[in-house]
Structure 1
């Protein structure tokens, strides 16, 4: 696999991991008992920690990409793994 492909695929894993990690552990200011400012939205997080989110996202994406790359390198899952999705000649109703 080309190194540019590795970077692009890892970036995809990172972004997808960020969407998984973002809602974990976030509590609104109302849940934490913090007073809201006039005009503030109800769902504003009161304990947003971007450094922790970046760390968790990076760890999750590294693990997921590691599994992907190992599968790619050792051929655990290849295109033949999905042959059951293609209807064979016995499935035709001629």
Structure 2
């Protein structure tokens, strides 16, 4: 798993801390959990990681897309159209 790679975790932590946009869908928030950057954030993700998100100090929001500062998250494949639309809007 990517979250087991120290370089990947450090990369995402640095990326997050510099305010660059982060896009996470499905199990993507797991990498953010490992990087310890979710505390106080509003996040969504796949249903099997809801408790992990909460344990990381984030607020789980059951919506197809959640935007909190530089983080855009989405629940899963059925939400891809809304996730892409929101992500592209952020990149403009």
Structure with the higher strand share, 1 or 2: 2
Greater relative CO, 1 or 2 (CA 8 Å, sep 6+): 1
Q: Do both share a fold (TM > 0.5)? A: no
| TM bucket normalised to smaller | under 0.3
Q: Which has the higher helix share?
A: 1
The structure having more radius of gyration, on CA atoms, is 1
TM-score under structure 1 length normalisation: 0.26
